[in-house]
Structure 1
Amino acid sequence: MDKSSPILLFDSGVGGLTVYDALRDVLPDAPVIYASDLAGLPYGTKTEAQIAARVAGLLGRMAERYQPRLACIACNTASTIALGMVRDVLEIPVVGTVPAIKPAAALTQSGTIGLVGTEATIRQAYVDELEREFAEGKRLLRIAAPGLVEAAEAKLRGQPVDPAVIADVHDRLTAMAGDAQIDTLVLACTHFPLLAGELGEAFGPGVRQVDGAQGIARRIAHLLSGQSFAASGPNRFIVTGPMAGAAGLEAALAARGFAPPEIF
């Protein structure tokens, strides 16, 4: 294995940077190529067939071009729909991202868990299976929150977050809960931890937020245990579509050690 062979992180937008941040904690020296499919954003409003074909096709071409040692689909929507297909296409380890229902079920004291994701994620049978396997006897309340994706993308570009978007998520979930107390909130989209502060203010200190970034990072580190790393320069940030889609990300990328964005 070439020491400069990168880890390929793939997401529809910038949400996967939350996984990147966690990965730097456990593999600080590993070279990374972050691929942002801005031309396909958002995934949550697309059909399963559209997402599966797009993700598998893009990752197949990216793996051929960049020769990564491992690929991570740092997107809940893409993972719940396309992970199996991508694993069939690629000849390297592929790590997916799934809603953190298992740890949330272990943490809840009230037995009522809120889950926010994209429209495509919350309707997947895979999420039903996670609920049956790990949250039996618990109450899992799911809502789609596409506005949070837009808010996270805007925040990372230095733009203000619309408080009405955060309030809408809070109000819809608490209305579903009724008299029950939501004490755990599953952030089932890698974009959403970028809004942890805003969500924390809305739900209060009694509600714990759970996402999968740390677990994904640990899984990647485990799969690459014993391998050597040697970066040949700054980590790369690749985007689909026109470069204008990455406008405003310069400060966030520079702070994470990325070179300027490139077009795939």
Structure 2
Amino acid sequence: MTVAPTAPLLFFDSGVGGLSILGPSRAALPNAPVVYAADSAGFPYGTKSEAEIAARVPALLGRLVERYRPRLAVIACNTASTIALPVVRAALDIPVVGTVPAIKPAALLSRSRVLGVLGTDATVRQPYVDRLAAEFGNDCIVLRHGSAALVQLAEAKLRGETLDPAVARDALSGLLDQPGGDRMDVAVLACTHFPLVEEELAAAAPHPIRFVHGGEGIARRIAYLTQGQPWPDAPPPGTAVFTRVNDDVHALEKALAGYGLARIEAL
């Protein structure tokens, strides 16, 4: 298949969490045209049912692919990936990269053999997480906790709002207060929003904890899948597209510009 240099990479999330995937991807492929899509009308995904997400995500990605003609799509959302990735791959005729909890690298790093998986409620209850824990952390205690409030904290941070430190503290306590949690030395940030507040989580930790997420690995995967393809000579302005444009979206303009997203559009 011939790929035009202007064909963008498409990143998709419910909100701004996918920026934690876009950042390392732009570093790996600095001249790549980018479209970042956020389903602001459906945000947040982590409190929705599996059926809602399984219906909504493929339909939206189909519309986005039709409009922007990307060379590749990234579901930069753990919740959407663990629920809808096979359906999306079956529906689209371009490569689709998903985002899965980084349990394998976390298990390699842990010395105490107690891991935490911090995600949304929808992600941490998925059988996919059970399979990853069984395959890569079968000699570990794998604790899980879902936090919708931490997703909102990341969105608020990028809007430039004052943050309540209790939110990060409560999210971590959801892991640390479980049996064995006092020995947890590695935590998987199993929601793409959470690396955006890693600094706040580290400040809330009562002892040193390594935080692991998949951003760098996904950037390497995108680079591999687009190897040999043409790119523009200079990075074009990126586009951020939202399913609902409101005051919260406009408050993100400065943060989006920091990721090279100069234009805002409505889907």
TM-score (norm 2): 0.96
Correspondence for 1:164:
166
Letter in 2 for 1:221: A
Residue equivalent to 1:43: 45
Instruction: Show the counterpart of 1:81.
Output: 83
> Which residue of structure 2 aligns with residue 2 of structure 1?
4
Helix, strand or coil for the counterpart of 1:116?
A: strand
Q: Deviations over 1:63-84 (max 9, x none)?
A: 0111000000000000000000
TM-fit CA distance, 1:179: 6.8
State the distance in 1 between where 2:86 and 2:195 align: 25
The question of 1:11 aligning with 2:13 is answered: yes
Q: Distance in 2 between matches of 1:77 and 1:88?
A: 18
Structure 1 residue 204 displacement after superposition = 5.1
Give the one of 235, 240, 243 matched to 2:238: 235
The equivalent residue for 1:260 is: 263
1:183 pairs with 159, 182, 185, which one? 185
> Residue 176 of structure 1 aligns to a residue in which SS?
coil
Give the Cα–Cα distance (whole angstroms) in 1 for the partners of residues 235 and 80 of structure 2. Answer: 30
- SS of the aligned residue for 1:43 comes to coil
Distance in 1 separating the partners of 2:62 and 2:181: 48
3-state SS of 1:260 partner: strand
- State the shift of 1:178 in Å: 4.1
Output the CA distance in 2 between the equivalents of 1:171 and 1:205. Answer: 12
Question: Contact between 1:183 and 1:206, CA under 8 Å: does it hold in 2?
Answer: yes
* Separation (CA, whole Å) in 2 of partners of 1:245 and 1:187: 24
Equivalence for 1:207: 209
2: CA distance, partners of 1:170 / 1:39: 28
Runs of 5+ consecutive residues of structure 1 not aligned to the other structure: none
Q: What is the TM-score of this pair, normalised by structure 1?
A: 0.97
The question of whether the paired residues in 2 share the 8 Å contact of 1:7 and 1:31 is answered with yes
Contact map agreement 1:234 1:259 (CA 8 A) in 2: yes
Q: 1:170 to 1:91 in 2, by over 3 A?
A: same
Q: Secondary structure at the match of 2:261?
A: coil
Deviation at 1:201, TM superposition (A): 1.0
Q: Distance in 2 between matches of 1:213 and 1:232?
A: 20
Paired letter, 2:150: L
Larger displacement relative to structure 2 (95-104 or 228-237): 228-237
Q: How does 1:89-238 map to 2 (within 5 A)?
A: 89-178=91-180, 180-203=182-205, 206-230=208-232, 233-238=236-241
Asked if 1:22 corresponds to 2:55, the answer is no
Listed one character per residue, the Cα deviations across residues 131-185 of structure 1 (whole Å, up to 9, x for unaligned) are 0110011001000111000000000000122111111122221110447411001
Query: Residue 261 of structure 1 aligns to which amino acid in structure 2?
Result: I
- Structure 2 residue ranges without an equivalent (≥5): none
| Alpha-carbon spacing, 1:241–1:204, altered in 2? closer, same or farther (3 Å) | same
- CA distance in 1: counterparts of 2:181 and 2:219, whole angstroms: 37
How many residue pairs get aligned? The number is 264
Q: Aligned equivalents of 1:170 and 1:198: distance in 2?
A: 10
Supply the RMSD in Å over aligned alpha carbons. 1.3
Residue 65 in 1 paired to residue 67 in 2? yes
SS class of match (2:20): helix
SS for the counterpart of 1:115 is strand
Identity %: 54
In the TM superposition, residue 2 of structure 1 has moved relative to its aligned partner by 0.7
User: Quick check: 1:105–1:134 contact (8 Å CA) kept in 2?
Assistant: yes
Instruction: Using the TM superposition, name which of 216-225 and 235-244 deviates more.
Output: 235-244
